[in-house]
Structure 1
């Protein structure tokens, strides 16, 4: 990973154009090929980003870029658009190999949800669905479940107790990496949780990821329909 603290402006051109005026920001270049632009606020969410894989080229500023020392042209390899970062000055430039991350350790409920879903794939997803394996490895950590749909196509499932945007981003990265393998070329994703935030659902649907609400009590066999009032 490379972290650069720089005085910069950022322009994105694609389906929607966006501009970040000149300010001091953190530029994050990750080993998976993603580029993220952060400010000193807004919690974990970047101001702008380019999903992996992408290519970063350093080009000379043109005559209209007064005071600009260098320009980063970030080009995605599998989609349209471009991120252009104009660097006016660099405060710090740090590069560090973080190695292979072991992945997120799930809490008891989340781990149990994953286990129960693995056991009940045909019941919850439908007839013809089959489980390939749990904790299927990727270069950035294991995806919770890898299953096959009734047509024999691969599906990656990420399981959360509460589904937020970060979980959708995590599944997106898994899908992008798995999709590079010929056997998983047609892979798609399911984001499964007890509850899913509205923003996370919108992001998932925009990326072609299906959302699935899990009933933990029913999966544990503790939900008796005869005891319900309605």
Structure 2
């Protein structure tokens, strides 16, 4: 985009709109040429590109590329967001203290900035709950894997409650963890911790994480830990509508 062809807001105006909007509890959207730095549990840098930046009154900051439904960088609710001006332009910073981390969005050329006192309190109505997923698997175990035989639902063990306990076509024990949302690395960690304990007395046990979808990284991490993924696409509500992504998914 030719920046000289458009009357762009100056850096002082951008900072004022951000600061005033946040004080008033507005949602702020910015379309800009920017680069992004992350400092915290790791460090990262995203080079200059045209992106959509969204700052929400609850402290959420999202940086979206022109494609895809997941943000390239983000900070969760509860972060402190502010704008500052220096010789290089305007920088929007979102930081939090637990854990200590910070995202700096350096605006190199801003094409569009809007703040609006948006209101939305309507709850999301999902077409299927996790309980319905459990019931579906109990009635249709072959949808997870051919030859799967369910033995027990919500089986209590010394290590915790197994969502669904089954055997496969060869008679091996199968532990199934069910997630209503798109599978994340935190779900993998949960299943891995459980299976590490369970396999001490059941070394041949298989662990399957069942969810509407999972990223390539999540699937790869499952394989690396001798775990498996079972996809139930019929329980997806659009793509990303029920996704819960953590920072760990971007590491």
TM-score where L is the length of structure 2: 0.46
Which one has a bigger Cα radius of gyration?
A: 2
TM-score where L is the length of structure 1: 0.49
